[in-house]
Structure 1
Amino acid sequence: MLKYGIIGGNENALEFIDAADISEKWQLTAAFTETAREMAAIREKHPETVFFSDLNAFFKSPNFTTVFISSSSPNMRHFPQIKQAILAGKNVIVQPPALTNPTEFKEVEQLLRTHPEVHFFEAAYPLHMPNFQNILTAVRKLPAIQGATFTAMQEFPGYDDVLAGKRLQGFTPESAGGALQMLGLYPLYAAFSLFGHPSNGNYFATAINTGADGLGTIFLTYPAFNITIHIGITTDSFMPSEIYGLREKIVIDNITELRLINHYDADRQNHLLNTITYENRLTGEALAFAEILETPNDPQNRLRYQTWLELARDVNTTLFHLRTLVGLKFPTDV
């Protein structure tokens, strides 16, 4: 069993704890929480967990080798926490977005080079779902790609308060929030995993009253096709995502949840591409990261890890490029 600690006790943190339990690969041994509510939520199912209110003491604990950083700490706090974890010799799993700009990412990579025993994962959970592997296999079999349209739009909790004038975390530039940063990275991960890095990218955003991007459309240019990505955190969309082959089409119900995948062949016959789905959507990443950490020197695992790290770098660089195009600046930008 891999012993891990967790920072935060929000809904996402509890979701990862549940996924880790389901995987039977992880054991929660330590938690850093800032509120009694977070502590109580974790203690309810894991009373044996050692709790910390001091982050330095938490990272000095010998009771765990990996830390999961959830978004209960604002996104901008991820960077110093990641650095502190690496310096303490802890593997790091971070709920996206892990880092806010390429400068931060470069510094993390420099730390990783000086601590080669440590692994850093940005937990882009859809990539580790079985259904994503089915999509990847189907795309590779297509004789040609004509393009794709992805949609990731979900109204985030608290938007009514934002409309009333409040500046909530996740909805403001000062909290490194907005649609691109909070939700857009997932379809970017999907696009880069399926089609590689684009030759160019553009972004058209609709601002909300906080100055952040509430809605937007990303255009990715490839040598032989284009990809359009619709994102938003101020409204819901039920429009599916589609990948266009020559005479075939892959239809995905939700690019971040991947519950239903259909492949329409050249005769317009539908073939269901679903396999197993996990009750907890984070189970796939819990299993995947555990496999890397259990046998880090396995050649295949080293290749997988390096691929994920490069993918995280590409997504981080593209997010920064796209928000720069529309004038979105975060306090962390140099």
Structure 2
Amino acid sequence: MIRFGIIGTNWITEDLIKAARGIEDFALTAVYSRTEAAGQQFANKYDIPHCFTDLETFANSQELDAVYIASPNSLHAEQAILLMNHGKHVLCEKPMASNVREVDRMFETAKRNGVLLMEAMKSTLTPNFQAIKDNLHKIGTVRRYFASYCQYSSRYDEYLKGNILNAFKPEFSNGALMDLGVYCIYPLVVLFGQPEQIQGSGLILESGVDGQGSILLNYKEMDAVVQYSKISDSYTSAEIHGEKGTIVFDKISRPDKVEIRYRGGGIEEITKPQMDNAMYYEVQEFIHLIQNGFTESSVNSRINSRTTMAIMDEVRKQIGLVYPADRA
């Protein structure tokens, strides 16, 4: 049984709890919140026995073995490093940090303390993403990867009224690239590694974060096209184009339906059964790694998390998107 603590009392944390409680070896024992009222309310809702408002006390607690971090992006590195220095394993919500410098510090801390640090990128651990990997050879030489995640944010309505919420504040290392673009980039990196060239463009809002953007990434024999937005919607599929056919999947953030469309006209369904809540698989992977003494995932690995963040750093540099965390 792995005893978990939780940082963050938002909807994504609630989704993770619902998914994780379907795993036999998951136990939720503690929650950290800045305020007693919010923390206790969350603890009561999910029958969590211990509530903390002091992060140091939380990190030092003997009531937990691992922590899921779902705080604002700008707090991930500081919180994860404190927890790992107290011997806690960390499952950190994407994006793992504000920049690659912070990612390096986090993994160095994990290595020094002999604990597991894993980015909570749910899509790459699903059965249907594994189906994509397993069947990639069928489409021949890959020539293009295309991924789109454009989802109009309800918080943008508030933004237009002059009420700037955290999702659009640079001090929290937020914006379209970090929130949605990462879902397009991480699977690309897992499948094809580091690109040779990166060309990014984006729209910077008056608050100082990006509302949307596009990236062209060049590899030796292929290219990748990525688009993302928090200020408009898109309904296009994700695709991987090969010389013999194309793999088409419905959602880059959680592929539920996957098929190969061959050049000759045939269609092969390669969809696998999977849980409705894809966060189940990231928790399952994380617990399996701890129980078997591993300090790194082979899929959501250090190199994949670092490469993804390095790509986002370069895109931000090109479009002029700077966070306070970059100057720290």
Q: What range is the shorter-chain TM-score in?
A: over 0.9
Instruction: Give the match for residue 95 of structure 2.
Output: 97
Could you say if the C-alpha distance between residues 203 and 191 of structure 1 is closer, same or farther in structure 2, counting changes exceeding 3 Å?
Answer: same
- Which residue in 2 is equivalent to 1:269? 266
Task: Note the C-alpha offset of 1:308.
Answer: 1.1
Query: 2:256 and 2:107 mapped to 1: Cα distance?
Result: 34
1:123 to 109, 120, 123: 120
Describe how 1:1-334 pairs up with structure 2 within 5 A.
1-35=1-35, 36-46=37-47, 48-70=48-70, 73-116=71-114, 118-297=115-294, 304-305=297-298, 308-334=301-327
Deviates more, 1:80-89 or 1:265-274: 265-274
> Is contact 1:139–1:194 with CA below 8 Å preserved after alignment?
no
* Structure 1 vs Structure 2 CA RMSD: 1.6
Give the aligned residue type for 2:32: F
Alpha-carbon distance between aligned partners in 2 of 1:66 and 1:236, rounded to the nearest angstrom: 36
SS in 2 for 1:155: coil
| More divergent stretch after superposition (136-145 vs 86-95) | 136-145
Once the two structures are TM-superposed, the CA of residue 45 in structure 1 deviates from its matched residue by: 3.0
TM-score normalised to the size of structure 2?
A: 0.95
User: Which whole-Å deviations, capped at 9, do the CAs of 1:227-259 have from their partners, x for residues lacking one?
Assistant: 100101112211111111113011111110212
Q: Residues 176 and 248 (structure 1 numbering): CA distance in 2 closer, same or farther, change over 3 Å? A: same
In terms of mean alpha carbon deviation, does 309-318 or 31-40 score higher? 31-40
CA distance in 2, matches of 1:296, 1:201: 37
Output the TM-score relative to the length of structure 1: 0.93
Q: Secondary structure at the match of 2:118?
A: strand
* Residues 76 and 96, structure 2, Cα contact 8 Å, conserved in 1: yes
**Which structure 1 segments of 5+ residues have no match?**
none
SS class of match (2:140): coil
What is the letter of the counterpart of residue 271 of structure 1? E
Aligned length: 326
Render the CA deviation track for 1:154-212: whole Å, top value 9, x for unaligned.
Answer: 12231111112222212132221111111111111111111121111111102223232
In 2, Cα distance between equivalents of 1:308 and 1:106: 12
Q: Distance in 1 between matches of 2:6 and 2:65?
A: 11
Shift in Å, 1:314: 0.7
Residues 170-179 or 283-292, more deviating? 170-179
The answer to whether the Cα contact below 8 Å between 2:140 and 2:245 also exists between their aligned partners in 1 is no
Deviation of the 1:306 alpha carbon = 8.0
Worse-superposed segment, 200-209 or 309-318: 200-209
How many percent identity over aligned positions? 27
Q: For the structure 1 residues 307 and 180, does the alpha-carbon distance in structure 2 shift closer, same or farther, using more than 3 Å as the test?
A: closer
CA contact (8 A) 1:14 1:42 kept: no
Which sections of structure 2, spanning at least 5 residues, go unmatched?
none
**Residues 8 and 34, structure 1, Cα contact 8 Å, conserved in 2:** no
